[in-house]
């Protein structure tokens, strides 16, 4: 039986580890290098690092800092944030990034994404769908630019759009659940998982192993979480955690 994919997600701003709620109000919680060292000790299988620096699209990726992260990391590291050029992608791979996570770029410059995939291969890219449930309805919108901009696609339409670009897997992120520990949105997660030809990962809202279990039952290939792995309720004290091998096995 294949081991379930359980993936921490670290948010980085100004080289600090931060946490947000609903994509807003980043709060500094520590040094990401120290966090990676602890995840190494806990034998974490893989990790995602996302830059949310306000000027990331102007400055581009901080290669020196990303190189520090990959040098410290004993596991495959996926990186996203501030990517707008093929040359940036090439440099990130050269300094040890395993996969590139693409959000707004898929919508804003799909030709560049297709070109990058033709050069480096589908397995190297992860497309993100940021979804938000409309108030007082069962309808969902798709957001880009850190949840600020609504686009005209439905989640399923955007799923097909990103699949056609050639990415190797999909992250479904829940804007209105991020950082709140209220569980994933299993209804839309199940719909997207059933509709996709690619591995689907869930991100945003995890609070317990039961949330992971329900996400796997909804059809995802992996679960991703931020707060769950770096903070403990009720006062959001900083504590780096990761499930044991047996706890991951028990998610089946």
pLDDT digits (tens, 9 = 90+) for 199-251: 999 999 999 999 999 999 999 999 999 999 999 988 889 999 999 999 999 99
Alpha carbons 122 and 119: distance in angstroms, whole number: 9
Write the pLDDT tens digit of every residue in 87-102. 999 999 999 999 999 9
pLDDT digits (tens, 9 = 90+) for 217-228: 999 999 999 999
pLDDT in tens, 36-84: 999 999 999 999 999 999 999 889 999 999 999 999 999 999 999 999 9
Please tell me what DSSP assigns to residue 124. Answer: G
User: Active-site residue 211, yes or no?
Assistant: no
Enclosing domain of residue 45? 5-249
User: Is there a contact between 7 and 201 (Cβ–Cβ < 8 Å)?
Assistant: yes
**Which one of the listed residues 14, 31, 45, 130 is annotated catalytic?**
130
3-state DSSP assignment of residue 183: coil
Joined tokens for residue 250: 């028990």
Which runs of consecutive H residues, i.e. helices, occur in 12-82?
32-41, 56-59, 63-72
Q: What is the largest CA-CA distance in the chain?
A: 47
Domains of the chain: total: 1
Strands 125-133 and 99-102 turn out to be: parallel
The yes-or-no verdict on residue 146 having pLDDT over 80 is: yes
Q: How far is CA 41 from the centre of its chain?
A: 22
DSSP result, 78-121 = EEESS--SHHHHHHHHHTT--EEEESHHHHH-HHHHHHHHHHH-
| Residue with token string 């990401």 | 32
If pLDDT is split at 50, 70 and 90, which confidence band does 135 have? confident
The CATH number assigned to the domain holding 144 equals 3.20.20.70
């Amino acid at each position: 039986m294949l081991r379930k994919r359980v993936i921490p997600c670290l948010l980085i701003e100004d080289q600090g580890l931060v946490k947000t709620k609903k994509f807003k109000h980043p709060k500094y919680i520590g040094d990401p290098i120290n966090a990676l060292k602890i995840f190494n000790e806990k034998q974490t299988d893989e990790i995602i690092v996302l830059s949310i620096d306000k000027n990331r699209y102007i400055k581009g990726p901080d290669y020196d800092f990303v190189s520090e992260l990959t040098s410290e990391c004993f596991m495959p590291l996926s990186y996203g944030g501030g990517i707008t050029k093929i040359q940036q992608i090439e440099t990130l791979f050269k300094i040890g990034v395993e996969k590139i996570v693409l959000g707004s770029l898929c919508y804003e410059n799909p030709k560049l994404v297709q070109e990058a995939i033709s050069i480096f291969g589908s397995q190297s890219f992860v497309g993100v769908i940021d979804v938000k449930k409309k108030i007082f309805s069962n309808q969902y919108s798709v957001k880009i630019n850190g949840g600020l901009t609504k686009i005209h696609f439905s989640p399923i339409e955007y799923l097909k759009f990103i699949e056609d670009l050639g990415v190797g897997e999909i992250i479904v992120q829940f804007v209105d659940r991020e950082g709140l520990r209220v569980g994933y949105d299993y209804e839309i997660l199940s719909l997207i998982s059933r509709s996709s030809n690619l591995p689907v990962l869930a991100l945003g809202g995890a609070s317990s192993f039961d949330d992971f279990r329900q996400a796997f039952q909804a059809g995802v290939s992996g679960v991703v979480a931020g707060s769950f792995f770096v903070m403990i309720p009720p006062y959001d004290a900083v504590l780096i955690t990761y499930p044991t091998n047996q706890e991951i096995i028990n998610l089946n």
